[in-house]
């Protein structure tokens, strides 16, 4: 029996439908939407002309650098900076003991805390006395004429350390009863009554489900801690003019509309006097939320020193400093009940998470909510989870690409292990047990199967040896984005100039695959202007008050599509009103295409937009729209991006090497806005997955000291194009209807489905379960050869 929709759902649904009425949704005949117009950032990035925050230079600029902890956990007993201060070229040194108040900043230096915001633990000391991971900024920060002098000065600081016990992984953390942890869990799973409305399943009974099973599968698997190694290490440049502060910052690519206020609050200065400038930005894969503790420290240092010295100051991280953040470590224990026909009757899960040190994503609770929460939507059977998250003495964690990677990995293990226990095709077991929305799920799975030849290629694990002596394996995973929601109030503007050019105005960091170009394509279609007459700068600043949606990463796609649609439609209406008297007709008699306004009944009567000789600006605001408005955890999000991944590998049984020979990624994203951008996101996910799955991608710590051993680009083996030759079989489908203005949804915030498909494929090859990264040592160990 269908149940009554949740009242929140009804309210959100009504609002959504009102918006749909305002904007023509999913029109078929667009000139630009769905195409791949040239990226605004292509030439600047290809030629090196693009200036990143790291490149920013101002006359008389000074530099700042932090002392970093050589220990995984240590407290400073005493500090002497006199030698550093005496070094020629050093302008100032601040320490955790500094009681001074910098002019204009009402809080003593030692009491300044990092800003608090969505997804970011704030309130940590700007200059801590105690370091919780090797490499954490601690004790002191210096300002000097050059980065080299900063380095020399840091070496001259005399520190007496008290080393403290540490744990860099979950197992070690669990041995320490005093370690901070969070314990929670879920006792009910959710079911869909009338999709997309979820209800708690009142017939839930895990123990009964386990009793009904023919086979009980118990096991354990893991996901390793991983850092994305983005291209641009953090830096921040600050300049004061009177009490107006301008900061050039690399670190914030999401929540930018809130950055100034949050930063102002932490310093006791009005956010209205802070302008944040975003130049070109290196990839951060969802990590750069409001401000991490490390990035905040960098930013605050540049601000304080700039005020103190009266000069612009750039605070910088080294490449090694930049190895913070990334994916948390997860160990998952599971008990699965399954019937002989492949029906899973119940699942019990235990999540053990190594959360890293404070200063990353939200809190232990926030991650727990995300991690243990979501599997319950995906399984039809009763599901129960127990969750333990530990603080560990390693880098603070966020996630990479999606916060749902832990769930995705767990779910893959459940399906794959159940299938394995019965000798069944995992795709079949998946279809039988997962709660999947139609028609998207079947569409992407069918397309993927066809593309890879699943029905003829799948075999029982460990049974196919190729003529080259290697094991053949093929794997599958179905995934989806999780809870794309839009909670930011989007406020954007469009300026039409008398020369007929159009400028999109709205702070938008350089994240995604040139989203600016995507948005310009929408304006071109909705307004009826030539694409080449539109510009949306890849760089921006916040002082004009306009800012686009950035929350939730990929949510920006559908959130901003509404704003762009509204801008285009409003501007077009205005243009037609201005042109009507000139052409002697009513506005409704006019149309505009390719920047030419013409009379619909007689297209020979026309006027060029530029010949109107007018200048005006229109605005569009979109806020809290859509079905997910009232619940940021996306319970009402009607449509995600759905993905089916199929992967083939060859495993050399004598060296343990895994070659990825084929990968098919099929995504239903409702509507493609800019094809190359969407395909680029998927291809990027596939390339990163090769790295995460089969290359050295674990962040490795020395067991005796907790020092990060591979915090560099050589020893974290980022996959290059040559390592990903066969993973570009990407299909974008437009089957479902998402909640963007054109039925679109984002494609960037996808979980580790490709990694999961590779884990599955390796198992299919050798008949053994190997946790990622599936490096030769692990494969050979699984095969009993090492």
Least separation in angstroms between CB 702 and other proteins? 5
300 or 687, CB closer to other proteins?
Answer: 687
Q: Is 20 left (phi over 0), alpha (psi -120 to 50) or beta?
A: alpha
| C-alpha distance from residue 367 to each of 261, 382, 437, 463, 774 (Å) | 25, 22, 25, 40, 26
776 makes contact with other proteins (CB under 8 A): yes
φ, ψ for residue 607 (rounded to 5)? Answer: -150, 140
**CA gap 574, 587 in Å, rounded:** 9
Helix boundaries (H) for 618-694 = 675-694
Least separation in angstroms between CB 776 and other proteins? 6
DSSP sequence for 183-249: EEEES--EEESSTT-EEE-TT--HHHHHHH-SEEEEEEEEE--B----SS--EEEEEEETTEEEEEE
436 or 711, CB closer to other proteins?
Answer: 711
321 or 541, CB closer to other proteins?
Answer: 321
466 makes contact with other proteins (CB under 8 A): no
463 or 655, CB closer to other proteins?
Answer: 655
495 or 768, CB closer to other proteins?
Answer: 768
Least separation in angstroms between CB 719 and other proteins? 7
171 makes contact with other proteins (CB under 8 A): no
17 or 171, CB closer to other proteins?
Answer: 171
The 268-287 contact track toward other proteins, x by CB under 8 A, reads --------------------
70 makes contact with other proteins (CB under 8 A): yes
220 or 655, CB closer to other proteins?
Answer: 655
Nearest to 561 by CA among 12, 30, 91: 30
**CA gap 480, 437 in Å, rounded:** 10
What does the chain come to in residues? 786
**CA gap 685, 479 in Å, rounded:** 13
Q: How many residues contact other proteins, by CB under 8 A? A: 33
Kindly identify the residues of this chain, within the stretch 214-253, that bind other proteins according to CB under 8 A.
Answer: none
Residue in 261, 700, 731, 735 binding other proteins, rule: CB under 8 A: 700
Residue in 501, 614, 696, 729 binding other proteins, rule: CB under 8 A: 696
The 113-152 contact track toward other proteins, x by CB under 8 A, reads -----------------------------------x--xx
Residue in 370, 671, 701, 763 binding other proteins, rule: CB under 8 A: 701
193 or 705, CB closer to other proteins?
Answer: 705
The piece of 269-277, 422-430, 606-614, 776-784 that touches other proteins (CB under 8 A) is 776-784
Nearest to 292 by CA among 376, 351, 236, 226: 236
472 or 778, CB closer to other proteins?
Answer: 778
Cis status of the peptide bond prior to 572, with omega within 30 of 0: no
Residue in 51, 179, 320, 459 binding other proteins, rule: CB under 8 A: 320
661 or 676, CB closer to other proteins?
Answer: 661
Residue in 101, 273, 737, 781 binding other proteins, rule: CB under 8 A: 781
What residues have CB less than 8 Å from 4, skipping those under 6 apart?
none
Least separation in angstroms between CB 40 and other proteins? 28
The 705-734 contact track toward other proteins, x by CB under 8 A, reads --x-xx----x-x-xxxxx-----------
**CA gap 420, 460 in Å, rounded:** 9
Residue in 614, 631, 657, 729 binding other proteins, rule: CB under 8 A: 657
136 and 77 in contact (C-beta within 8 Å)? Answer: no
160 or 655, CB closer to other proteins?
Answer: 655
Least separation in angstroms between CB 234 and other proteins? 18
CA dihedral 96, 101, 106, 108 (to 10 degrees): 20
318 or 537, CB closer to other proteins?
Answer: 318
Crossing angle for the helix pair 555-583 and 515-523, to the nearest 10 degrees? 30
59 or 784, CB closer to other proteins?
Answer: 784
φ, ψ for residue 766 (rounded to 5)? Answer: -110, -5
655 makes contact with other proteins (CB under 8 A): yes
Tokens of 307: 């005020």
Least separation in angstroms between CB 175 and other proteins? 19
Kindly identify the residues of this chain, within the stretch 375-434, that bind other proteins according to CB under 8 A.
Answer: none
The piece of 49-57, 258-266, 631-639, 655-663 that touches other proteins (CB under 8 A) is 655-663
* Residue whose tokens read 């990060």: 708
Least separation in angstroms between CB 69 and other proteins? 12
| C-alpha distance from residue 759 to each of 248, 416, 698 (Å) | 41, 10, 15
Tokens of 706: 């907790």
642 and 437 in contact (C-beta within 8 Å)? Answer: yes
The piece of 83-91, 371-379, 414-422, 771-779 that touches other proteins (CB under 8 A) is 771-779
CB-count burial class (<10 Å; 0-12, 13-18, 19+) for 523: buried
Nearest to 683 by CA among 664, 697, 669, 698: 664
183 or 702, CB closer to other proteins?
Answer: 702
63, β-bridge pairs: 144, 314
- Chain residues binding other proteins by CB under 8 A are 70, 148, 151-152, 320, 654-657, 695-696, 700-704, 707, 709-710, 715, 717, 719-723, 775-777, 780-781, 785-786
């Amino acid at each position: 029996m269908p149940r009554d929709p949740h009242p929140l759902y009804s309210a959100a649904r009504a609002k959504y439908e009102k918006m749909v009425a305002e904007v023509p949704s999913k029109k078929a005949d667009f000139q630009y939407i769905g195409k791949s117009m040239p990226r605004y950032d292509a030439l600047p990035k290809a030629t090196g002309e693009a200036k990143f925050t790291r490149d920013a230079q101002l006359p008389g600029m000074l530099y700042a650098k932090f002392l970093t902890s050589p220990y995984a956990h240590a407290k400073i007993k005493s500090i002497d900076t006199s030698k550093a201060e005496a070094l020629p070229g050093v302008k100032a040194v601040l320490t955790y003991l500094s009681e001074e108040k910098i002019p204009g900043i009402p809080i003593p230096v030692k009491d300044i805390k990092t800003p608090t915001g969505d997804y970011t633990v704030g309130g940590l000391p700007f200059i801590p006395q105690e370091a919780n991971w090797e490499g954490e900024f601690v004790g002191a920060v210096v300002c000097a004429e050059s980065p080299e002098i900063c380095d020399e000065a840091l070496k001259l600081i005399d520190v007496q350390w008290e080393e403290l016990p540490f744990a860099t992984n979950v197992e070690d953390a669990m041995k320490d009863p005093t370690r901070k942890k969070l314990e929670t869990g879920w006792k009910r799973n959710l079911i869909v009554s009338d999709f997309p409305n979820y209800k708690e399943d009142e017939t839930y009974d895990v123990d009964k489900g386990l009793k009904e099973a023919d086979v009980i599968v118990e096991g354990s698997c893991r996901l390793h801690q991983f850092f994305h190694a983005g291209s641009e290490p953090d830096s921040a440049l600050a300049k004061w003019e009177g009490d107006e502060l301008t900061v050039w910052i690399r670190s914030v690519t999401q929540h930018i509309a809130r950055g100034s206020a949050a930063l102002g609050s932490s310093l006791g200065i009005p956010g209205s006097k802070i302008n944040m400038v975003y130049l070109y930005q290196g990839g951060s894969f969802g990590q750069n939320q409001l401000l991490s503790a490390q990035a905040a420290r960098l930013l605050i240092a540049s601000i304080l020193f700039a005020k103190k010295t009266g000069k612009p100051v750039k605070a910088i991280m080294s490449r090694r400093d930049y190895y913070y953040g990334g994916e948390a470590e997860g160990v998952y224990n599971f008990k699965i009940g399954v019937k002989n026909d492949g029906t899973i009757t119940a699942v019990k899960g235990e999540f053990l998470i190594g959360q890293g040190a404070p200063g990353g994503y939200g809190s232990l609770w926030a991650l727990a909510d995300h991690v243990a929460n979501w599997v319950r939507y995906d399984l039809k059977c009763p599901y129960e989870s127990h969750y333990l998250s530990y603080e560990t003495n390693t880098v603070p964690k966020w996630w990479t690409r999606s916060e749902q990677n832990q769930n995705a990995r767990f779910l893959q293990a459940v399906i794959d292990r159940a299938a394995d226990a019965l000798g069944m095709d995992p795709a079949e077991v998946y279809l039988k047990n997962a709660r999947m929305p139609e028609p998207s799920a079947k569409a992407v799975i069918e397309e993927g199967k066809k593309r890879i030849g699943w029905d003829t290629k799948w075999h029982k694990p460990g049974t196919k040896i190729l003529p080259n002596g290697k094991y053949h394996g093929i794997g599958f995973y179905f995934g989806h984005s999780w809870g794309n929601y839009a909670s930011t109030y989007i406020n954007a503007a469009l300026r039409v100039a008398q020369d007929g050019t159009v400028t999109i105005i709205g702070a938008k960091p350089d994240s995604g695959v040139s989203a600016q170009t995507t948005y310009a394509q929408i304006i071109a279609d909705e307004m009826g202007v030539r694409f080449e007459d539109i510009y949306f700068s890849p760089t921006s600043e916040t002082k004009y008050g306009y800012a686009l949606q950035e929350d939730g990463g990929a949510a920006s796609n559908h959130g901003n599509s509404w704003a762009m649609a509204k801008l285009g439609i409003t501007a077009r209406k205005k243009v037609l009103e201005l042109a009507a008297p000139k052409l002697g007709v009513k506005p409704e008699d006019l149309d505009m295409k390719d920047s030419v306004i013409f009379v619909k009944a007689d297209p020979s009567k026309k006027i060029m937009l530029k010949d109107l000789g007018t200048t005006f600006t229109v605005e569009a605001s979109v806020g809290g729209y859509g079905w997910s408005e009232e619940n940021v955890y996306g319970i009402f999000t009607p449509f995600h991006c759905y993905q089916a991944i199929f992967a083939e590998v060859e495993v050399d049984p004598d060296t343990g090497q895994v070659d990825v020979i084929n990968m098919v990624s099929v995504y239903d994203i409702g509507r493609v806005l800019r094809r190359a951008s969407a395909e680029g996101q998927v291809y990027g996910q596939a390339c990163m997955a090769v790295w995460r799955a089969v290359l050295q991608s674990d962040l490795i710590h020395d067991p005796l000291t907790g020092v990060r051993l591979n915090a560099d680009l050589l020893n974290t083996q980022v996959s290059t194009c040559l390592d990903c030759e066969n993973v570009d079989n990407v299909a974008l489908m437009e089957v479902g209807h998402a909640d963007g203005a054109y039925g679109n949804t984002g494609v960037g915030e996808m979980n580790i489905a490709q990694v999961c498909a590779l884990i599955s494929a390796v198992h299919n090859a050798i008949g053994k379960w190997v946790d990622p990264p599936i490096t030769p040592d692990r494969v050979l160990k699984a095969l009993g050869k090492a």
